[in-house]
Structure 1
Amino acid sequence: MSPAEDVVTPEEIRIPVEGGELAALYWAADAPAAPLVVLVHGITGNAMAWAPIAAALAGGCEVVAPDLRGRARSAGLPGPYGLSAHAADLTALLERFGADAEGGADATVLVGHSMGGFVTALAAAGSARDLVHGLVLVDGGLPFAVPPAADTDDMLAVFLGPSLERLDLTFPDLPAVRSFWSGHPAVGPWVDHPAVAAFLARDLTGEAPELRSAVVYEAVRVDGADMLRNEAVLEATTDLPVPATLLWATRGMQGQVPGLYDEVRLAGMGLQDAHVTAREVPGTDHWSILWSDQGVQAVTAAVREAAERSR
């Protein structure tokens, strides 16, 4: 079975945070001194987006993937939203799992996809600075190309497309959800993979015939504004306590070329001074970098390198 199809059943856990409990998925390690790997999803995602990568890491690592505040089973957590709130929740999670400056875990590696890359970078540069030993950014975490005068809501609509549009929809049943996502140019080819089907199902709340996404729209608006405009967020990667790896997809959120990053833009970002190493993952888009064989292999290799480097 390929990594994209592999599903290892995780444990549902809860972590106390400001205002309630953060929902998360947990994959155990086989050894007590294994690295702790925390996987942080994107702006309208949830913890199950990481299932193929978590399955590939589980056993050799202790793996935790939270549902961010305002998403999936953390949708009931109150605002205020914003990437600083997510960074604080992430710090609480790290403390819950014993990460500390003296190495309570063998090594602690943060991995963030899309907006999750900005969250992990902000946490590593700030509230979790002494708790992090490695950082992997997956098609996110470095500033996107945003026209200075562009309206934030308009930019989010362009960036997210159907991922944002679904927040206004209701679905009579799971086949209708599948039908909606099957039309997505990047997610569509993956809707029948067990891990991706589980990710799409975790997004839902309500009862048939009125299923809808659990994502809180206000959380997306506030978080999106931070991701696109907040200088503290956009500059977090210039003050990281550890080297970071950026894995970038050739194609974008809708499968388009160029994607969110390209060689020309990255060359002008001063990554060497920031101790960020950028690597293209050929043949992937913004979504399949999490699910395809080449994406899973690239992310897991980068995580293991980060953990090894911290020893």
Structure 2
Amino acid sequence: MIAVLCVAAVFTVAAIVLWRDPFLLVRGEFARQRVAAGLSRGTVEVAGHRWSYAYRDADAPDAPTVVMLHGFTGSKENWYPLAAALGGRYRVLIPDLPGWGESERKPGAVYGFTEQAANVEAFIRALSPGKPVVLLGHSMGGGIAAVAAARYPREIAKVGLLDAAGVRFKDNAFGLDVLAGRNPFAVEDEASLKRYIDIVFHDAKAKPWLPWPASTALIRKRRADAGFEQDVLARIGRSEDSLLPGQEAANIRQPALLLWCRQDAVIDASALELYAQRIPQARKVLLDGCGHMSLMERPAEVAGAVVALVDR
């Protein structure tokens, strides 16, 4: 009887805690993934913002440092599967970009390609002083990485663009929605959350499972972020700066990787060749059977491409 009462008490306390903070389930799952990937958490004040980031030291003290930049509506956690696949081969730094995730968002601040590239350069100088890094960027983060690599070659030795924004790719439903002023990633309810996940993932096995109340918490957060998302999307998706990464890419002289998934429904795979025209030295990798989230849908294949970039 005592054991039964204890179990009941535990469930009652858990229910109360989740009712007060349903996002606790999401944070708990992120923490589990981080630990499984061998990563630790850090914070740093850089470029006028408090940054939250995940990191892991390499097995060898002289190993290269790899910095990973997430995409629009993304966070550092998107990179955990790739970090796990890379193991201790490199020192890894995975920040939440300013304005996103657990990093600081400042009212009135601009978070476009140019501003974030400058923020990333400051982050690299602070955490890898005097040692150039390999910079990887996904989606919006790929556009940021392209601008940063072009403008700050002393800090960035090599660059990898994964499903990167910043060029005028072949028309698709996502791109047309953006140009029409809509946010195709907007999440307001269970139906739009499912639509969002279906847009970014092609491989059903890789789609995250979001049980209640975690789904409710995520919907609430995305609703609160709706205005911020629309402001950023207006700048990176339909302003005069939307094609800046592709323009700046012509100035990238470092070894580079261009990696896409053939079934990407967000940044159409035609973008790979558009970037390749501007970065002729880049190695091109086109994966099949995956969508926009290559780093989560095919972490082993992406890890192989990253190792080829870093170690060649």
Please name the residue that 2:295 is paired with.
290
Decide whether the 8 Å contact of 1:22 with 1:67 is kept in 2: yes
Residue 243 of structure 2 is aligned to residue 219 of structure 1: no
Decide whether the 8 Å contact of 1:91 with 1:123 is kept in 2: yes
Partner secondary structure for residue 129 of structure 1: coil
2:56 to 21, 27, 47: 27
Please name the residue that 1:56 is paired with.
85
The amino acid across from 2:280 in the alignment is A
Decide whether the 8 Å contact of 1:44 with 1:220 is kept in 2: no
Once superposed, which parts of structure 1, at least 4 consecutive aligned residues long, lie more than 3 Å away?
A: 150-157, 176-183, 185-188, 190-193, 207-210, 228-232, 265-270
Partner secondary structure for residue 130 of structure 1: coil
Alignment deviations for residues 253-280 of structure 1 (CA, whole Å, 9 cap, x no partner): 36xxxx6123xx7556663763223221
Change (3 A) 1:99 1:181: farther
Q: What is the TM-score with the length of structure 2 in the denominator?
A: 0.72
Alpha-carbon RMSD across the aligned residues, in angstroms, is 3.5
1:112 to 119, 137, 150: 137
Partner secondary structure for residue 296 of structure 2: coil
The amino acid across from 2:245 in the alignment is V
| CA drift at 1:146 | 6.7
| CA drift at 1:223 | 3.0
Identity of aligned residues (%): 24
| CA drift at 1:209 | 10
| CA drift at 1:191 | 6.9
Alignment deviations for residues 232-263 of structure 1 (CA, whole Å, 9 cap, x no partner): 43212111130211111111236xxxx6123x
Give the structure, 1 or 2, with the largest relative contact order (CA under 8 Å, sep 6 or more).
Answer: 1
Decide whether the 8 Å contact of 2:158 with 2:310 is kept in 1: yes
Structure 1, gaps ≥5 residues long: none
Alignment deviations for residues 78-123 of structure 1 (CA, whole Å, 9 cap, x no partner): 41221111111111121122243xxx36xx2111111111101100
Change (3 A) 1:77 1:61: farther
Decide whether the 8 Å contact of 1:29 with 1:59 is kept in 2: yes
| CA drift at 1:229 | 4.6
The amino acid across from 2:265 in the alignment is M
Please name the residue that 1:135 is paired with.
159
User: Quick check: which one's helix share is greater?
Assistant: 2
Structure 2, gaps ≥5 residues long: 1-32
1:236 to 237, 248, 257: 248
